[in-house]
Amino acid sequence: MCGIIGYVGKKSASPILLEGLRRLEYRGYDSAGVAVLGNATLVVRKKLGKIDEGIARLLKAEPVHGSLGIAHTRWATHGAPADKNSHPHFDQSEKIAVVHNGVIENYDSLKQKLLATGHKFKSDTDTEVLAHLIGEHYHKRKTGNRKPETGNELAAAVSDALREVIGTYGLAVICTDFPDTIIGARRGSPLIIGIGKGEHFLASDANAIVAHTKKVVYLNDYDVATITPERFEVSNLGTDTANVQISNLEFSHEDVGRGKFAHFMLKEIFEQPQTVANALRGRLDFEGATAKFGGLNMTAAELRHVDRIVIAASGTSWHAALVGEYLIEELAQIPVEVEFAHEFCYRNCPLEKNTVLLVLSQSGETADTLAALREAKRRGHRALAIVNVVGSTIARESDGGIYMHAGPEIGVASTKAFVSTITVLSLLAVHLGRLRQLSANRATEILRGLEALPKQLEKILAQNDALNKLAKKYAKAEDFFFLGRGYSFPIALEGALKLKEISYIHAEGYSAAEMKHGPIALIDAKTPTVFLVPQDAMYDKTMANLAMIRARKGPIIALATEGDKQIKKVADDVIYLPKTLEPLNPILASVPLQLFAYHIALARGCDVDKPRNLAKSVTVQ
Residues noted as catalytic: 2, 616
Asked whether 560 and 576 are in contact (CB, 8 A), the reply is yes
Q: Are 221 and 242 in contact (CB under 8 A)?
A: no
53 to 86, 491, 613: CA distances (angstroms): 15, 36, 18
Measure Cα distances from 238 to 187, 220, 232 in Å: 12, 11, 19
Q: DSSP E strands: which ranges in 398-516?
A: 400-403, 479-484, 506-511
Q: Rounded distance, CA 189 to CA 186, Å?
A: 6
Omega prior to 578 cis, within 30 of 0: no
| Residues shown for the chain | 621
Beta partners for residue 90, in sequence order? 97
CA torsion, points 407, 411, 416, 417, in degrees to nearest 10? 70
Residue type, 108: D
Alpha-carbon torsion 576, 577, 582, 583, what sign?
A: negative
Q: How far apart are CA 555 and CA 296, in angstroms?
A: 46
Q: Which residues of 235-265 are buried (b: 16+ CB within 10 A; e: fewer)?
A: bbbeeeebebeeeebbeebeebeeeeeebbb
Could you tell me which residues are beta bridge partners of residue 31?
Answer: 48, 74
Q: What is the dihedral of CA 385, 386, 387, 393, to 10 degrees?
A: 0
- What phi and psi, each to the nearest 5 degrees, are found at residue 13? -75, -35
Q: How far is CA 291 from CA 312, 433, 454, in A?
A: 23, 10, 17
* 424, burial (CB in 10 Å: exposed 0-12, middle 13-18, buried 19+): buried
Per the CB < 8 A criterion, the answer to whether 88 and 18 are in contact is no
CA distance 345 to 364: 17
H-only helix segments in 142-284 = 152-162, 264-270, 272-280
3-state SS, 119-168, equals CCCCCCCHHHHHHHHHHHHHHHHCCCCCCCCCCHHHHHHHHHHHCCCCEC
Q: For residue 202, is it left (φ>0), alpha (ψ between -120 and 50) or beta?
A: beta
